[in-house]
Amino acid sequence: MLLTVGVLFAGGLTLAKLRPPTTSTESTGSKPNPSAIPTARPAVNVFNGTATAGLARQVSEVLVSRGWEISQVGNWTGKPLPKTTIYFPSEYSAAADVLAKETSAVVTPAGSDMSQTTLTLVLMK
């Protein structure tokens, strides 16, 4: 457990950044606003763009525990990014926003050379 927390912290992604999603039921006891919940929740590709070995696997395990389906886990081979980034196909914009809130990532539309069926989370410092 300490190793996992240490690795996440060293990789620039703390468990505090992976906060659980909140809904209106937590604060008011009422039903969540249906328009605030994405209707489609695609699978997520998780890629490690840091030098921290195993970071993508560890983050993907946390995401699975929060209800996300993971499609791929591996190392990022693209150009270095300034921040943790989620690439999303246009129809999954709302799901990308939800995942971004859980991971403190920025979102950007997926290019034509990226998956058009999944979200792609690239972990950076």
> Is 50 exceeded by the pLDDT of residue 77?
yes
Model-wide pTM > 0.75: no
**Chain segment 34-76, per-residue pLDDT in tens:** 444 545 789 999 999 999 999 999 999 999 999 999 999 999 9
Q: Does the residue 12 lie in any domain?
A: yes
Q: How many domains does the chain have?
A: 1
Higher-confidence position of 27 and 85: 85
Does the residue 91 lie in any domain? yes
Return the ∠ at Cα 113 (arms to 112 and 116), rounded to 5°: 60
Range of the domain at 119: 2-18+40-123
The CATH number of residue 66's host domain is 3.30.70.2390
Residue 84 belongs to some domain of the structure: yes
Which residue matches tokens 């990226």?
Answer: 114
- For CA atoms 75, 116, 61, 80, the dihedral sign is positive
How far apart CA 22 and CA 102 sit, in angstroms, is 9
- Chain segment 79-123, per-residue pLDDT in tens: 999 999 999 999 999 999 999 999 999 999 999 999 999 999 999
Is residue 11 within 8 A of residue 50, CB to CB? The reply is yes
